[in-house]
Amino acid sequence: MKKRNLTLLTLLALAGAGIGVSPARAANVPVNTTTSTTGDLILGFQGSQTGTGTPVVLEIDLGLNTLFNKLDGSTFTLSSVLLADLNSTFGSGWYTSGLVKWGVVGTTSNTGIGVNAKNTIYGTNAAASAHGSTAFANGTGSAQAGAQSQISALYQGLKNTAALAGNANAALVTQATTNSYTLTETSAANQTFAYFTPGQNAVDGVVGSSVLDLYQLSSTNNTNPGTTYLGTFTIDANATARFAAVPEPSTYVMLLGSLGAFFVFRRNRRANSPAGI
């Protein structure tokens, strides 16, 4: 009895100090500023909220762009994309309805260097299969600066928006909210995120019928200008979202070289075999 009372007193003391069994995280906790910053890639799911019909966007911070521009041929799962979030937002038919769009966008700072050179932008182009889209053309520094400014506003909006319970990297907002994915995408006339041309599947595709090819656009003013295809995002009906990075060209060269050496060895072996085997 004495031991049980002591345990109870200990729990009460811990509770008074704010320690102990953690309650479920409140839904009005802002997305941590350290996980929504310039250089991150943001995934947006746009559609009508189940039950209300309100146009909403589920915004998910996928992390720094360096996770996606490795060019190493790897494939990994996006752990912050959760089935429960998509079901509760768009209903259980989110994957097959044809009414939910998705896209990914990101940018560097306006003073970046190296792989994150100044005003570098990231955007997806929808396609039926991996690398089935047309690559975006990079632009001048001033042209891409407009996109950099728009996408930077998206980071700020995400940082100041309540995170979903159980997913600190995701937030749900109405499409009309200032600095939402939707508004930053459409606020510039005849352009998507103040750079891409609408009607070219930029930046969004329809969930369930498209994959998303990711491109990095380094402006013509940077040391290494050009457009680079980085890989492809996919998602299935269980909300298992993956990114498959494209191998860098040297990987293909090494593979072809190895295959060539193998066939030369095989041919020489057959030529030197008495039976021609």
Burial level of 184, CB count in 10 A (0-12/13-18/19+)?
buried
pTM here is 0.80
* pLDDT of res. 151: 95
Q: What's the angle, vertex CA 276, arms to CA 274 and CA 277, rounded to 5? A: 105
Q: Is residue 212 part of a domain?
A: yes
Query: For the chain, first and last CA: distance in Å?
Result: 86
Give the 3-state secondary structure of residue 261. Answer: helix
Contacts of 206 (CB under 8 A, 6+ apart): 98, 100, 101, 126
Q: Is residue 139 part of a domain?
A: yes
* pLDDT of res. 48: 98
Domain housing 189: 24-251
- Count of structural domains, the chain: 1
DSSP category for residue 110: T
**What averages of pLDDT result for each successive group of 10 residues across the chain (277 residues)?**
44 38 38 69 98 97 94 96 98 98 94 77 96 95 94 92 91 95 90 86 91 97 94 98 88 42 49 56
Q: Is residue 5 part of a domain?
A: no
Q: Is residue 158 part of a domain?
A: yes
Q: What is the 3-state secondary structure (H, E, C) of 200-219?
A: CCECEEECCCCEEEEEEEEC
* pLDDT of res. 182: 95
Q: Is residue 257 part of a domain?
A: no
- Report CA-CA distances (Å) from 219 to 110, 146, 223, 237: 11, 12, 9, 37
